[in-house]
Amino acid sequence: MNQNKTFFIIQSTFDASNKGEIHFGEVIQKLMSIQVESYIVDYRIGRSTYFLPHGETLDLFFDKPQNDIAEIFDAPSLRAAIVGAQ
């Protein structure tokens, strides 16, 4: 697959995910179909990095959430957020 098509699929998947149009399983399915090896989302700086074969990467940026970091660890809320994202 050519690089432009790969980057287009990553970008469209990123956009659809950020709009809530596709769920996590669909994100993984689309990324695996184009051989994305892994990706990481950094909410503190507003960046998603996609790792491709042969050491290539693609960084996509998004608006950082405006939420403050909680003062206490709330395990039930964290669990609910994870379940809600799946």
Q: Could you state, in order of their start, the residue ranges of all structural domains in the chain?
A: 3-85
2-58 confidence digits (pLDDT tens): 889 999 999 999 999 999 999 999 999 999 999 999 999 998 899 999 999 999 999
Confidence of residue 84 (pLDDT cuts 50, 70, 90): confident
Give residue-wise pLDDT tens across range 43-54: 889 999 999 999
Answer yes or no: are the C-beta atoms of 22 and 12 closer than 8 Å. no
Please answer whether residues 54 and 42 qualify as being in contact, where contact means their C-beta atoms are separated by less than 8 angstroms.
no
pLDDT of 85 over the 80 cut: no
Query: Does the predicted TM-score (pTM) go above 0.85?
Result: no
Q: Which sign does the torsion angle of CA 46, 42, 18, 15 carry?
A: positive
